[in-house]
Amino acid sequence: MKKILFLLFFLAAVSLPAGALSQEPPALEPLISRATRLMVFSPHPDDETLGAGGLIQRVLKSGGRVKVVFMTSGDGFPEGVEMEDHISIPKAKDFRRYGIRRRAEALKATATLGMKERDVIFLGFPDAGLARLRSTYLLSRSPYRSPFTRETCPPKSEEIIPGMDYTGRDVIREVQRLIARFRPTLVATTPAQDYHPDHNATYIFVKYALTHWDKKNPNHKPALIDFLIHFGQWPIAQGSGNGSRLNPPKDFPDKTMQWVSFQLTPDEVEIKRKAILDYRSQMLVMGRFLMSFARSNELFLVDK
């Protein structure tokens, strides 16, 4: 019965109801204080800065604590490897080396935002493979093998729990362990409506882990907010990142969620811009897209 409920949760999380958006988002600031313990689950290195770089700065400046958890190291990106290393047909070692480079960029970017290296966690699950872990390899006895790195498990140095494999069950175990250790008051990740499969899967893994945590710890229920990264031509279609306001996409489908606008100070915008530029490998491939998040505000989704 437990396995059936486990599967039903993940199947139900795939499709969400559609509808319109509210016109004027409320404020996020009341959630931030010295007591704030923010945990950001980022599908790849750069998502945390694009979607929540300003929020991370504000929580730290308010005296709160922040942990950033990278679900993958971004090592399954053929276009990036080809552009960075001028290799037309990358091999597994090239993808693994690219992942090491992206982890280094992530440490530099989060340091720019004000974070300590000890508060940055890499889980090492497969880039471009999280959706498979959520579906085909959710309860599989045989682990998923990355078609890029050819790995079937995270690096030993990045395991939270020893003996992890590329299965959905092990992703959840690691996420649950991190939540139990840090006991966040605020959790931020990408939403289920994000077009990137890794982003969609990250939400579902985190949501399941939080639901399990809430049942066991009813007196400690962290707030969950989502930051959108991939949604058609948004946000590039709204202009380049020059400090202008970021607005919700007009055709966003879910009416059960509400947009929350978080206004950044000029200093926060500038630091966020510098942190984005720290992702040099990604700037080479999609710099205009990345800089379109360097706006005067950030947007988050919350349940109504």
Residue 29 has pLDDT above 70, yes or no: yes
Lowest mean pLDDT among 10-19, 139-148, 158-167, 213-222: 10-19
Q: What is the mean pLDDT of residues 48-65?
A: 98
Distance CA 46, CA 132 (A): 22
- The pLDDT of residue 217 is 86
Q: What percent of the chain has pLDDT over 90?
A: 78
pTM: predicted TM-score of the whole model, two decimal places: 0.91
Q: Which two tokens stand for residue 205?
A: 């893994």
Lowest mean pLDDT among 91-95, 211-215, 299-303: 211-215
pLDDT digits (tens, 9 = 90+) for 128-152: 999 999 999 999 999 999 999 999 9
pLDDT digits (tens, 9 = 90+) for 262-277: 999 999 999 999 999 9
Lowest mean pLDDT among 7-16, 224-233, 266-275: 7-16
Contact assessment for residue 87 and residue 94, using Cβ atoms and an 8 Å cutoff? yes
Distance CA 217, CA 229 (A): 31
Confidence class for position 241, pLDDT limits 50, 70, 90: low
Residue 10 has pLDDT above 90, yes or no: no
Average pLDDT value over all residues in the chain: 90
The DSSP call for residue 68 is: E
Domains parsed from the chain with CATH numbers: 37-303 (3.40.50.10320)
Residue 1 has pLDDT above 50, yes or no: no
Cα separations in angstroms, 191 against 73, 85, 96, 122, 301: 19, 32, 27, 20, 8
Residue 167 has pLDDT above 80, yes or no: yes
- The pLDDT of residue 86 is 87
- The pLDDT of residue 84 is 87
